[in-house]
Amino acid sequence: MKIPAVYSFLLLMAVAVFCAAEGSKNGYLVGEGDVLEVTSFQHQELCGSFQVSEKGVINYPLVGQVKAAGRRVGDISAELERLLEADYFVDVQLSIEVREFNSQPVVVLGEVRRPGTVFLNGQTMLTDIIAEAGGLSSGAGPEIELRRAGAAEVLVFSTQKVRTGEEGRDVEIRQGDVISVSSKKLFFVTGEVRSPGQYEIARGLTLMRAVSQAGGLSKFASRIIEIHREIDDEKVIQNYDLGDIRKGKAEDPAILPDDVIIVRRRFF
C-alpha cells in the first residue's frame, strides 16, 4: 500500500525531531573541526555538510557565518531557522547531526588493538573509549591509568574489572584525557618445579608464591633457589634458601618483571 505523501513527510519530520532530541540529550558541544550535516525536507538548497572553522563558525547559505563551537546542535538549528524565517522562508524546519567528530581528542595508549587518538562523540565512559580503540589486546596487563588534563592525580582501574564492566561504566572521559593500558608483566620459572613456564606477575608476588604458582617443587628440587635479574643492564644472580623463608628466618623477596627463577636439582 502506498503511503500518502503528507504522511511520509510527517513521519520524516518526527524522525528528525527525535534525532535532534537524542543529540541534545548527550550534551555534546560542537567544536572546531566537527562536520555538521544539515537536512531540510522542504528546501533541498538548505541541505549539506558544513565544517566548523578555526573561528568556531559555519558558513551557511543565505545567512552567512553562524557561531557553532561551544553550542549544541539543537541551539544551532534553532538559530538557523530563526535567521532563515526572518528574511527568506516561512516555517523552516532543519535537522542537524554531527557527521564527523573532530574536536574533542582523547589519547589511548598501550595494550589496545588500535592505540592512538579517539574523538569524543558525546557523553563517553571509560568502557566506551576502550571499545572505540578496538578493545583490550591479548597483552593487556593488570591496570589501566587515566590521566586528566591539568590534574596531578592519576586514576588507576583494574583491567579485569573494566573488561567485565565492574569498573569504568560510570567514569566519564573528558577532552584531553590520556588513557594508558599496561602490558602484562611476566616472570619465568624453570628447573625442578611441576609446571615450568612463564607467568603473569600479580600485585604483591613473592618468591614463595611464584614457586607455588608453578605447581610447587618437585621431589628432587634443591631448597636453594636462584633469581636471575637484570639490574642496570647487568645480569645478577641472587640465591635464596626456601627452607629459611618458610621458617621466617629469611625475607620472602618480591618478584620483578622478567625475573627468571631457577630451581636446580639437589645433590644427594
At the topology level, CATH places domain 186-265 in: Outer membrane lipoprotein wza fold like (3.10.560)
pLDDT at 96: 96
pLDDT in tens, 64-91: 999 999 999 999 999 999 999 999 998 9
Q: What is the C-alpha end-to-end distance of the chain, expressed in Å?
A: 94
Q: Which three cell numbers stand for residue 60?
A: 551557511
Regarding pTM above 0.75, the answer is: no
Q: Taking the domains of the chain in order of start, what are their residue ranges? A: 5-100, 105-183, 186-265
Q: Which helix (H) or strand (E) holds 17?
A: helix 5-25
Q: Is residue 102's pLDDT more than 90?
A: yes
Give every CB contact of residue 170 below 8 A, 6+ residues apart in sequence: 125
pLDDT in tens, 179-228: 999 999 999 999 999 999 999 998 889 999 999 999 999 999 999 999 99
pLDDT at 4: 56
Q: Are 119 and 103 in contact (CB under 8 A)?
A: yes
Domains 5-100 and 105-183 share a fold: no
Q: Is residue 11's pLDDT more than 80?
A: no
What share of the chain in percent tops pLDDT 70? 90
Amino acid at 72: R
Judged by DSSP in three states, 268 sits in coil
71, 76, 78, 79 alpha-carbon torsion, rounded to 10°: 100
- Provide the CATH number for the domain formed by 5-100 in this structure: 3.30.1950.10
The architecture in CATH of the region 105-183 reads Roll (3.10)
pLDDT in tens, 110-159: 999 999 999 998 889 999 999 999 999 999 998 999 999 888 889 999 99
The Cα–Cα gap between 202 and 161 comes to 15
